[in-house]
Amino acid sequence: MIMASCANAGTVENSTATAITVAEAKGYHGRAGVEFVDPRPADVIAATTGKIPGARLISVEDVEAGNLPPVFADKSLHVVTTCMAGPMARRAATAFAKAGFGRVNWIEGGTTAWVEAGHPTVR
């Protein structure tokens, strides 16, 4: 059931969002102008992989509705999304691209791949 919250994220339309590897994501992590977003509920994050340090928790529904924190008023931000395995992150990345963000990626394999590569998470 927990995995379903990430994997059953629905179909994704074509967008300008693209997948990146964990190594690429690690290179962006902590850089100015880059925001990491995890769309999973906090209880799911705590029960599974944890979240990438600094990642903002914003639900897919909020991204799709445009309910974003003030920092996202700047559409020049580079947005990197992640979930447990990738599908929900891809859906969130597509929504950011449709909202006018020009540089949007999701992590292929999600936070699970991040952890498997030996990178830290927080719960």
- Token representation of residue 118: 């030996």
Predicted pLDDT at 16:
86
Domains of the chain are 4-116 (3.40.250.10)
List CB contacts of 93: < 8 A, sequence separation 6 or more. Answer: 15, 17, 79, 81, 104, 105, 106
Could you state, in chain order, the average pLDDT of each consecutive group of 10 residues for the chain (123 residues)? 36 68 98 98 96 98 97 97 95 96 97 98 95
Please tell me the predicted confidence (pLDDT) of residue 69: 97
The phi and psi torsions of 69 (rounded to 5 degrees) equal -60, 155
d(CA 79, CA 87): 16
pTM of the model: 0.88
